[in-house]
């Protein structure tokens, strides 16, 4: 079937980006960095790098491509995850940040900040329905912390209905909403009041809504759970239940938002307007860290009474807000959400062929737009495929709550030609993993 292919929106720049300086000692830098990981930073991660055969250090990036210190080129299909929706180092974001950097990077807070105010207005314009007031912070977990506090403040109720296997971040409040016991148990007791129900089951949501529930909180497509799509109509059903039962709906669009699934926000596929929407990851254009929660006006009454009831020193700083403003402009002007749909179909088509050729290794491929996942029959296949794909110049990564799934989520500016190159690399990696590991999936019970 002939499908019109979008033109490259942000073509790779002429020439190569900054290479590792001639004469400098690469081997020494790599060795020292890994030793520092082992000794001062994260020994477990150092081991993981070693297992994956990662004998290098990242060096430069541009558009959809990343280079290591050896000058080897990688197609970024992990996006860190999902932070490079507009590609690495988009020139419009760099220009905005440089302009602000040369003038006033951080706010004194005693005078109004024009970039922060402009970003709040811009978010009200691009978010669905009557979402209007925003608060800015520095990460996804913080955005969800703020949303949780706002829901309690606005309703006077402490409880939340959240989803099993959900990922909302790892600070204590966000972790309380996160649905994987592995990350939760060592830190208990967590914030009380969170009830976890199966994702995709609207009746379970309804049954869990008791008298003290402030909000239902969910990801429209679960990312770290392994790219899990709910049944069609689920979001609309949950919205209807929330309305009927008088509780708020919080949509965590930190991974699904900003064009990733083929719409600016994933809830728009079902015409749903949440009461609070949280963002982070791609909002800073892959240049600055920034998070936000945006809410309907009625929820903001208590926030209006005390301007410091919730605050953050660096949240909404001018550098981050200029980056976010430029990012939203790029997403709209380059129609990147519209690209994600057909490009995602192309990529998913290649992954389906891959599944058909390797049924013993690949259990399922799925996704929406350019938020795709490959589920393997065993987690070792996922780990090995990700490592082997890296050796072939394709960056992927397993999902945090489900190591049996690797995420395929390239920048939305990727081209059809690069998708084929990436898919070739992944296919070779799957074949290599199958050969290296043999029938590990058949020998042991599933993954996890």
Ligand X SMILES: *Cc1c(COP(=O)(O)O)cnc(C)c1O
For position 134 contacting ligand X by CB under 6 A, the verdict is no
- Closest to ligand X by CB, 281 vs 339, is 281
Establish whether 167 is a catalytic residue: yes
Min CB(222)–ligand X separation in Å: 8
The residues in 181-220 that bind ligand X, with binding defined as CB under 6 A, are 219
Given a contact cutoff of 8 angstroms between Cβ atoms, the answer to whether 241 and 205 are in contact is: yes
For position 176 contacting ligand X by CB under 6 A, the verdict is no
Min CB(255)–ligand X separation in Å: 3
Sole binder of ligand X in the list 85, 113, 139, 404 (CB under 6 A): 139
Binding mask 221-250 for ligand X (x = CB under 6 A): --xx--------------------------
Interacting residues of 313 by C-beta distance below 8 A, sequence separation 6+: none
Establish whether 306 is a catalytic residue: no
Given a contact cutoff of 8 angstroms between Cβ atoms, the answer to whether 363 and 375 are in contact is: yes
Min CB(447)–ligand X separation in Å: 21
Span interacting with ligand X, options 25-33, 133-141, 363-371, 419-427, rule CB under 6 A: 133-141
The residues in 151-170 that bind ligand X, with binding defined as CB under 6 A, are 167-169
- Closest to ligand X by CB, 254 vs 429, is 254
Span interacting with ligand X, options 236-244, 251-259, 336-344, 367-375, rule CB under 6 A: 251-259
Establish whether 252 is a catalytic residue: yes
From the list 281, 363, 376, 380, the catalytic residue is 281
Sole binder of ligand X in the list 165, 206, 252, 375 (CB under 6 A): 252
Given the rule CB under 6 A, which residues bind ligand X? 139-141, 144, 167-169, 219, 223-224, 252, 254-255, 280-281
User: Which are the catalytic amino acids?
Assistant: 167, 252, 281
């Amino acid at each position: 079937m002939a499908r019109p292919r979008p033109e490259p929106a942000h073509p790779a720049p002429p020439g190569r980006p900054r290479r590792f300086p001639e004469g400098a000692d690469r081997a020494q830098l790599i060795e020292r960095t890994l030793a520092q990981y082992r000794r001062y930073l994260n020994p477990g991660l150092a081991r993981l790098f070693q297992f994956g055969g990662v004998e290098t250090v990242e060096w430069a990036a541009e558009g959809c491509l990343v280079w290591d210190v050896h000058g080897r080129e990688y197609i970024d299909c992990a996006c860190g995850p999902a932070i490079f929706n507009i590609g690495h180092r988009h020139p419009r974001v760099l220009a905005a940040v440089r302009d602000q950097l040369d003038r006033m990077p951080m706010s004194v807070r005693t005078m109004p900040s024009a970039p922060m105010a402009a970003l709040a207005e811009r978010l009200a314009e691009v978010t669905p329905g009557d979402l209007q007031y925003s608060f800015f912070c520095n990460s996804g977990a913080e955005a969800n912390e703020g949303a949780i506090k706002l829901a309690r403040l606005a309703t006077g109720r402490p409880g939340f209905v959240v989803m099993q296997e959900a990922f909302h971040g790892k600070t204590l409040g966000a972790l309380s909403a996160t649905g994987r016991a592995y990350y939760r148990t060592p830190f208990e007791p967590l914030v009380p009041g969170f009830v976890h129900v199966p994702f995709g089951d609207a009746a379970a949501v309804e049954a869990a809504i008791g008298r003290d529930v402030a909000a239902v909180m969910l990801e429209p497509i679960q990312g770290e759970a392994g790219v899990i799509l709910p049944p069609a109509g689920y979001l609309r059903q949950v919205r209807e239940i929330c309305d009927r039962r008088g509780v708020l709906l919080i949509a965590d669009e930190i991974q699904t938002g900003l064009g990733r699934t083929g719409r600016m926000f994933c809830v728009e596929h079902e015409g749903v307007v949440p009461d609070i929407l949280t963002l982070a990851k791609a909002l800073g254009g892959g240049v600055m860290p920034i998070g936000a929660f945006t809410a309907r006006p009625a929820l903001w009454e208590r926030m209006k009474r005390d301007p410091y009831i919730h605050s953050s020193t660096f949240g909404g700083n001018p550098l981050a807000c200029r980056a976010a403003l430029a990012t939203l402009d790029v997403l709209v002007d380059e129609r990147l959400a519209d690209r994600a749909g057909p490009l995602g179909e192309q990529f998913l088509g290649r992954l389906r062929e891959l599944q058909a050729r390797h049924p013993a290794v690949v259990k399922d491929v799925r996704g929406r737009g350019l938020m795709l996942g490959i589920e393997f029959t065993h987690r070792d296949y996922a780990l090995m495929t990700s490592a082997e794909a890296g050796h072939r110049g394709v960056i992927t990564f397993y999902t945090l709550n489900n190591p049996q799934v690797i995420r395929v989520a390239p920048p939305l500016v990727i081209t059809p030609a690069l998708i084929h190159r990436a898919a070739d690399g992944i296919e070779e990696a799957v074949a290599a993993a199958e050969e290296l590991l043999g029938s590990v999936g058949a020998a042991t019970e599933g993954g996890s």
